[in-house]
A and B are shown apart, each in its own frame.
Chain A
Amino acid sequence: MSVVEGAVLALLLLCVLFIIRVFVVVKTGSQFKPGTRGPVSVLVVVGSGGHTTEILRLMDSLSSAYSPRHYVIADTDRMSEEKICSFENSRPHPNSKSQFTICRIPRSREVHQSWTSSVVSTLKALRFSLPLVFRLRPDMVLCNGPGTCVPLCVAGLLLGILGMKKVLIVYVESICRVQTLSLTGRILYPVSDYFFVQWSSLRDKYPRSIFLGRIV
């Protein structure tokens, strides 16, 4: 009897400690300044269609201090791969070498997929995302809404929770979202370190978000 009670108590304590740890990792994100120690490695989650266009415009504005750049795309997406390659080749390379890689993982949610099956496929994608993020150990994850970002951000968060490396989660909500956040946005809002929205009505609803006008 007392053993069971002890086990339950230990489990509860572990849960509380875990929650406190997550809270600390997320809260101290803004104090983490990887840029002071040299180049910042970025993991860029590229969706499809409009998402790709938007995120490449954001990448275009970032200086060469953000390198290497690891692009993650869904394995069914050929269009984005071409776009990334032509974008990277058009970038000026001050050091005469462009540092970027393209990684493919299974898509976590097709458009119009049901809730329950997206949970299953997200878990599947997590199996690929964890080794990827643990191997690359990026300083930040940049994403703007495709479902693929959730497992990758979770993997990044886990690195921070385990104390291996703080990974900043930077989320930019799509310009299409004026009044409501996307599903991915709602999931990542509590755990992201920098959460950008592009319309003031969203900033009013989500006070932790950052509003700099339209940025794509």
Chain B
Amino acid sequence: MYFPLGWPKRVSLALPGEATHIRHISCDAVKILVAAVDSDILGIWYANPLLPIAYYRRSAESLQEFGSNQLIIWKPDSRQLAVLTDAGALLLYQLDFDANGSGILMQVDPPALSLKRDSAELFIKENIPRLSLREVRCLKLDAVISTVCCISLSELLLATETCELLRLQWSQLETVTEELKPLAVIKLRDIPFYVQQQQQQPAKYLPTMGNSAFVACLEYSPFIGGCAAVFSDQRAAFLVADHLRFETAHMHGCWVPDVADASVCSVNHKFRLLAYGQQSSAVAVYAIDDATAGLEYSHRLVLTENVPPGSLGAVNELKWSPDGCVLAVSWANGGLSLWSTFGSLLMSTLSWDFGLHVDLVKHNPLQLRRLEWSTEGYHLFMTCREGEDNVLQLQFVKSALSMNPCMSAHSHILLQGDDCLYINQGDNLEQTYGNAKCTFPSSSAGQNDDCLELKQSPNMGSILTESKYWTLLQLPLNYAATNWPIRYAAIDAAGLHVAVAGRTGLAHYSMLSKKWKLFGNESQEKDFVVSGGLLWWQGFIVMGCYSLLDRTDELRCYPAECKLDNQYGHKLQVRAPVISLNVFRDQLIVLTADGIVSLFHMYRQSAYIINIDCAYELDVKSICIHPACIVSLTVTNLRNELKPQQQQAEAETIVVNVCGRVLMIQRDEAAQQVPNTLLATCLASCVECFWLSHNLEHCAMRDCLWLYSGAHGMRVWLPILQQRSEQSGPQRLHSFMSKRIMLSFPLKLYPLVILFDNVIVLGVENESALYTNEANSHFALPFAIMERKSQVYLHKVLRQLIKRNLGYSAWEIAQSCRSLPYFPHALELLLHEVLEEEASSKLPIPDAQLPSILDFIREFPVYLQTIVQCARKTEIALWPYLFSMAGKPKELFHLCLQAEQLETAASYLIIIQNLEPSSVSKQHANMLLDIALNQRKWELAKDLIRFLKAIDPNEIDSPRCSMVLNVKIAPPQPQTQAQVNPNADAFNLVLGPIATRERSYSTTVTSNLPKDNKQQSMAASVERSEAASGGGAGSNTGAATVIRRRSTKERQQREIFCIDLILQRHARQLLQQHKLLDLGYMGAYLDFHLVSWLTQESTGAARLDNFAAALQALHSELQLPSPFPAAGRDDFAQLRSTNRQGAGGAGGSSSQTSESGYFSLAAQLESPQLQPCIKEQEELQHSSLPVMKNRSNSQLSFDNFRYRRLYSLPASEDDNSDVVASYLNDKLAIKMRYLLQLFIEANCTDYALMLSILLQDAASISRIVNVVIRSESVGACRRIEAALKQLSQCTFDNGGSMYRGFVMTLQPHIYLLEQYIQSLGETPVHDSIDDGNELGGDSSSGLESDALDGSNNNFVPKCQQMPNGNQRSSEQRLTRHASLESKSKSNGNPTNTSSTQSTPTQHAQRRASREGPRDGCGIM
């Protein structure tokens, strides 16, 4: 799990001031020194910082005689190195350490103060050793040396072109004088070679092992006990000796069976793997079979993504990283890739984005020759094939798991670089209170709303968040300067503490305080080396280490709370170096180099004191070749069979990963103290890393063992749950049935962390960003970055379980994960995978899985959505197969309707449209449209109308012909889409490509017309609908004049007509139920032209018969207080209205702008920040909770009210005018006014009148009255007159009505109307209106007052005469009910509200009345 970072650095390893082509780079065994050769120079460098120590340049004669340098081989003690020349000679160099004198290249500051170094990091603490390099001997054998490899501190192996292996000692090379006598000469032609299939029987010597073949590439590994070799005839072999001494008699070889075109080889010591690079650009990896010591095919690395086959060329170079976790591979035609131990691809430069002008197939900019891992694998030296200054150094970070496998228990991604740590904390899910379903009251309503009490406590929810930033921790300078690089890193379970160990000592960091803690005493830091592992346990750092002072191996614990000092630390001596350790609860398991696994119990006595006792020791030498081959181990309470959860404090099982093979060592029975290695069972092979899930909160996948095996994917060893009925029996009937099952599934990313509770794996992927296209600059290469990725694995596990008929387990697991936000998505993926596989299968499927998967999904309420969303992401060609199993789409559609999942139903329409004749889909769409309208789902209705209009009318009768056509139109969408958005956008997305081919121009005009030419479009639509109806009538009469070519258009018009009918029907219903708001929304969202429709309806549905009842209904719909409340509730109404004072401003001012229409009003609209649908609800909330919302409105108004009530002060007139509009909050008022405008435009006087009354807009009433009078229609006049009368009647009947004052101002209009009717010479008394007889008396009295008044149209005098006539009587009636202030209000009201037609007298009056409250305050 190595990930490259940034651009590669370009370094120059030539002599200072020169440039040269470097041929080979090699680090010594401890990776402190780097040697590099070009044709004649050998350079020795310090690895970090990369500084030159010494060079040796060969003379021209030497070059002539022995050839130029080619390959470097270090002696393991770093004292000597051998250089192989291309002429097959060996040159031995001696490296002497010059002890006297300090280091080299010490930087000396100049005397000038300003030129001195300032920062601490610029003073390099590293002491570069002074070394001298000398040539010891040039060796030329009789035969040409083809390759060299070092097998031990004392010996090395030379391969010659005569097909011999010479084993000789390093010391033999030194002695110049002596004749070289190899320890052994192994004639490869004389040793037996086996082929894997026929073991123990010598195969025939292969004929090609003839004269020309020799070993071209050789690598030795002590753990394998042999060498990997590649012959010059491209044959791959494995050479092994029976004894560890290589002699002809004891050696044999194994041909690698399937590799006939090998180019290079490399050996992984830890996992005992041999990798052979091939000419075919693949890499074949073989493991050692323990039983036969032969080769066993493991896996094959083939790059397929982004690469045309055959373009890579032969494998150029292979290098395992020092820890054996990754394999770097480069190819002859360029490119570098990185693979994990068991073959999962971590990085490939061929998938990098090199920009447009780079064609990777023709010329890869990254042409590499040699690779060499530097210290701890943090850097990779790469030499380019051509040119000078050809050395690149790529930086890597690696997962902490690679060095410290005990870190697998944590949920944080921890990556370590050479001097920094990358941490990605937190889950994939952001924790919040409340989740998507539970929304809090919106906060956008402004500053006025107060805190709300919540009825129930919202539960902890979670939302998916995009990947968070990496937290980068830089190692503190004073630790890093002497202890570079980081070797071990550990994070605690909470992710709050991090510990790192470098070359010596350790340091730790607290995420909360953001501070590092280092050893106070630097010598203590220098005195020990952490080895084998580092972990956190309950605030203690536990590590295996080697004390340089005592020369002993120890376990140490340091508490995080105190200073880092040995006096607080706890030490426990162990016998041999610690190789690996791990912890489970309070048990610490330690593997030491002598092959003993020890189990310790840890007790925490206090925050600073810890006790460690050894429980038992176990010899594991029998299960591994060498303890170093044990990759990781842990102790756990996992057992083969799932026992009922008893309080087992003690873990009983040891799980060990030996060279990729996971072994479980179980205790035989509870009585037995120590587990027996003889009872070890092998669970899996090729395992890189394992995780254990113990106690989970949510997920049912408890007590599982998770394994990652590279190319073989992820595996989980899952206990099989038994159904309860089966469990309850005295004993299981079938005891032979297995209790656990191993499921495997592929993963797209390399898992670093498994979040068991969230059924998700987290990993890191290598991405690249191109910074510039400038070809010459070195940043023309992409910049490598790391991105955290996650993958849900739930569906993969479910599928495997269902496949194996373990539906109950699957159901249990799925049930436990239902609360996860991506659960529906997981089900969808499950269905999609199976569908794709089975529907596109060429072969007949013997046992189709789809039905059982569908049955499974049916268990969950999201079934309907899952089906449709899956369908919409698959090709249409697969739909028939899906719906043959899942049920007919029509039926599913009806199920959706039953379940009131309208959005889902809408999605099914698209499927129905594709699978059924258009008429069916049309019919269903109409059905859904109806329901959507009824449920006020305007957005949905809008989309449905668009859908209906887009159906090609010609296709209505024609059946769906072929699916092939549709496949082309709707290409399969990528399955990787993370989440489906269920809203209209997705609908459009899918609908789009299908709809556009059918949509004709005329329909698009109507649907997409901008609203500012509403008038024209409206007119157009009226014409059209008329034309359509005319056409319909024409066909009724049987006229055969319908021209063929016009039929499409006509049909289309009929379609639109049909939709219009539905809309009109619905609008009529709304109007009849006085649901004006809904009507408004409908008009707005559906492009339904209200004015034209209302014009039609002005004599129909838009007539009002009972004004009072209509007003009442409207009030209840707007959730306003009843217009005619019962008596005695006046105080309450008063309270409300006064509290509304602040909000009334807008309403008050708006009443003056009635003439200019709605545009100016809209300008005052406050900007809400929410989507319309939410807005609507919220508004209702507003009006339903008026008291609560307005409490903090202002202290002033509250007081005002109280005083007024107590002292019965006369209320001001202004107050009153505010009351008018403040019943409606301002947004509602604007909507009402807009509707009023529409009704006036459409000539619907009844509704216009009612809305004017609701808005208490006297001006608009007078306008209506004038219009009616001008229309010279007696009937209309009479209706209006009667309506006004009825209202005033109702108002007076209910004294507390809020309209009382206003209605009184309307009396002049009534009078005017009566007068007009009279002037037409008709008797107004006998009217056809229902309650005419009641009003009759009033009208006659109105006549009376008219006589008093004089016959001009001026209202003003009339107001002053108000106390006369019926007005007076009503006043008297009123006083019976009303309190003092309401009376005073009714006095003031008329003057104020009629102020739009103000006369000077009124102004005066108003001014006077305004002064009223001030006086009142004065009195107080």
**Do A and B come together as binding partners?**
no
